[in-house]
Amino acid sequence: MLWLTWRQHRWPLITVAAILTVYWTFLVYAGLTGRQALAGCPSWQVAPDWCFDASRSVHGIYTRMNEAAWYGRLLPLVIGVFWGAPLLARELEQGTHRLAFTQSVTRRRWLAVKIGVLAGVAALFGAVTGALVAWARGQYAQMYATRPFGDQEFFASSGAVIPAAMWVAALLAGVMIGLLLRRTVAAMAVTLILLPLAAGGLGLIRPHYLPPVERLADGAQMFFDPGAPNQEQGWVLAISYLDPAGRELDREAAGAICADPSNTYPTAECLDRTGLRQRALYHPADRYPWFQLIEAGLLLAASAAMALTVWWRVVHRRG
C-alpha cells in the first residue's frame, strides 16, 4: 500500500519537495543575512544610525524574502489542488477504483494509508516551512514590522503550528471535493476557487477568536498612530480618542484638536498637553500562542469533519 501511494503520487510529492528545497534554502539565506547585518540592533525607535544603514543594505533581500513568503502562502493551495483533488476524483473518473477496491486491501486501509501518508507529509512540510518563515522574518523584526501577530498576510504562514494544520486541511478539502465531483479537472478548479475564499473567511473571523481588550492610554503608553496593526504590544484592532469630556473622536478630529503643525495625527506630546486619551481595542501580544492554537484547532476540526465525510462515503460503499 505504501508502494502504491508512492507510485501514484510520486510526481506531486517530488515537485513540491523540489519547490520547498529552493524555498527553504532561500529563507535560510535571507534569515542568516538579516541576522548578521542587524545583530545587536535594538528596536527601530531607539536604534543608532548604523542600524539604519545596515537595514538599508539588506533591504533588497528583505523585500525578496517577503515576496517569496507571500507566494509561499499559496503552497497549501498547491497541496489541495495537486495532492488532494485528484486523489479520489481521478480514481472515480478513470474507473480504477473498481480495480483498487477488488484487490485484497480493504477500503479502510487503502484510504487510511493514502490520506495518512499524504497528510503526514503535508503536515511535516507545512510545519518546517512555517517555522522557517517565522525564523527568517523574525531576524528583521527590530527594523521592520515583521511580527506575525496582527499581520493578516503572514499570520497563517508563520510558525509551525498553523501551517501544519492548514496544509492538512487543504489536502482534505481537495480530497473531499474530488470525491463529491468525481471529475479531476473540475475538482481541481473548484478547489482552486474555494480554498482562497475559505482562507479569506478565516482571516475575517480571526480578530474575533477572543474578545479584544480595551485600553485607555495616555501619552507614555499610547500606540503609535497611524501604525501597522502588528505592534510590539499586540494586535491593534481599532484606535480612537477620548477628549476630557468623554466624547469619542477619530484620529483626524483628534489631530485637529492637537493643532500641531508638524504632525497631522496625535502624538504623545499632544496627549499630555491636551488631556486627550487614546482608546485602543487590541489583543495583547501574549495572546499570540492562543490565537495560533485556536486557528489550528479550527483547521483541525474542519479536517476531521472532511475526513469523516470521505471515510463514510468511501468505506460504506454508498456509491
Partner 1 sequence: MTAVVEMSQVGRRYGRRWALRDCSLSLPEGRVIALVGPNGAGKTTLLNLVAGLLRPSEGTLLLFGEPVRDDPATLARIAYLAQDTALYPTFTVDDLLTFGRRLNPNWDDGWARDRVSRLGLPHDVPAGRLSGGQRAQVALVLALAKRPRLLVLDEPLASLDPVARHDVMGLLMEAVAESGFTVLLSSHIISDLADTCDWLVAINQGRVQVSGDISELLDTHKLITGPRDALDTLPERLPVVAQTVTGRQASVLARLGAHQLDPVWTVCDVRLDDLVLHYLRRPEASALPGPTAVRG
* Contact positions vs partner 1 (CB under 8 A): 1, 3-4, 7-8, 94-99, 101-108, 315-319
CB of 110 to partner 1, least distance (A): 9
CB of 316 to partner 1, least distance (A): 8
CB of 98 to partner 1, least distance (A): 4
| DSSP classification of residue 83 | I
First to last CA, the chain: 23
In 3-state terms, what secondary structure has residue 232? Answer: coil
Based on CB atoms, which residue is closest to partner 1, 4 or 74?
4
Q: What cell does 18 get?
A: 523540489
Based on CB atoms, which residue is closest to partner 1, 88 or 123?
88
Torsion of CA 75, 78, 84, 87, to 10 degrees: -140
CB of 89 to partner 1, least distance (A): 14
Based on CB atoms, which residue is closest to partner 1, 4 or 293?
4
CB of 82 to partner 1, least distance (A): 15
Based on CB atoms, which residue is closest to partner 1, 1 or 77?
1
C-beta neighbour count of 163 within 10 angstroms: 30
Q: What cell does 29 get?
A: 539565506
CB of 86 to partner 1, least distance (A): 12
Nearest to 27 by CA among 174, 163, 121, 196: 163
CB of 59 to partner 1, least distance (A): 47
Are the CB atoms for 183 and 95 separated by under 8 Å?
A: no
Rounded CA separation 165/168 (Å) = 5
Q: What are phi and psi of 280, to 5 degrees?
A: -120, 140
Q: What cell does 183 get?
A: 471529475
CB burial class (10 A; 0-12, 13-18, 19+) of residue 242?
middle
CB of 101 to partner 1, least distance (A): 6
Rounded CA separation 117/128 (Å) = 17
Cα 21-24-27 angle, rounded to 5 deg = 150
Based on CB atoms, which residue is closest to partner 1, 92 or 276?
92
Are the CB atoms for 137 and 158 separated by under 8 Å?
A: yes
| DSSP classification of residue 228 | -
